């Protein structure tokens, strides 16, 4: 009897670190494809902020739910827009549709850079609260123990 055919193996999902690097590589590739200096600067900023967001995802996986929409929508859509821009720019013709589309993407880049920076900042909200709480507690303890000039009890 012939041997049974081997079952096709499922492709294992790419580890998140590899997915992050793939996205950063795609940002780099599209940045290299766009010669406009101002756009290049903005894409470079997106790359840098995205790398920091990915670093947070690696070092603190508890923050992943906070960045799900960023990872699943904003980042892929941004890449799509940038790829479209590169394709339009490659045409070498500035017809009305091409010019308008490129202009809208250029205008959107400022918003995207700010949004990516805000996303990174939000990932540190709980850390900032922890720092603030620790400082308040320590200052109160120092005062209570009479170790500061504004001690609550003077004898």
For residue 73, the 8-state DSSP code is: I
- What confidence tens digit (pLDDT) does each residue in 53-77 have? 999 888 888 888 888 888 889 999 9
pLDDT band at 8 (very low <50, low <70, confident <90, very high): low
User: Is residue 12 predicted with pLDDT exceeding 50?
Assistant: no
Under a CB-based contact definition with an 8 Å cutoff, are residues 108 and 81 in contact? yes
Instruction: Give the CA-trace dihedral at 79, 81, 83, 85, to 10 degrees.
Output: -150
**Beta carbons within 8 Å of 35's beta carbon, 6+ residues apart:** 89
Euclidean distance between CA atoms 34 and 89, whole angstroms? 7
Most confident of 16-20, 116-120, 125-129: 116-120
User: What pLDDT was estimated at residue 11?
Assistant: 46
Q: Considering only CA atoms, which of 94, 90, 77, 88 is closest in space to residue 26?
A: 77
Please calculate the CA angle 20-34-28 and round it to the nearest 5 degrees. Answer: 20
For residue 118, the 8-state DSSP code is: H
Q: What's the pTM value of the predicted model, to 2 decimals?
A: 0.73
Euclidean distance between CA atoms 34 and 45, whole angstroms? 14
Query: 26: buried, middle or exposed (CB in 10 Å: 19+, 13-18, 0-12)?
Result: middle
What's the token pair of residue 138?
Answer: 């320590």
Please calculate the CA angle 25-81-18 and round it to the nearest 5 degrees. Answer: 25
């Amino acid at each position: 009897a012939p041997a049974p055919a081997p079952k096709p193996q499922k492709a294992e999902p790419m580890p998140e670190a590899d997915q992050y690097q793939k996205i950063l590589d795609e940002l780099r590739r599209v940045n290299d494809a766009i010669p406009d200096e101002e756009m290049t600067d903005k894409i470079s900023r997106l790359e840098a902020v995205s790398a920091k967001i990915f670093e947070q995802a690696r070092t603190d996986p508890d923050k992943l739910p906070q960045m799900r929409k960023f990872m699943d929508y904003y980042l892929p859509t941004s890449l799509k827009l940038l790829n479209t821009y590169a394709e339009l720019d490659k045409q070498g013709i500035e017809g009305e549709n091409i010019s308008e589309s490129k202009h809208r993407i250029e205008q959107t880049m400022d918003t995207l850079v700010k949004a990516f920076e805000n996303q990174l900042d939000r990932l540190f909200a709980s850390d900032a609260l922890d720092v603030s709480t620790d400082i308040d507690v320590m200052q109160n303890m120092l005062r209570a123990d009479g170790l500061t000039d504004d001690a609550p009890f003077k004898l």
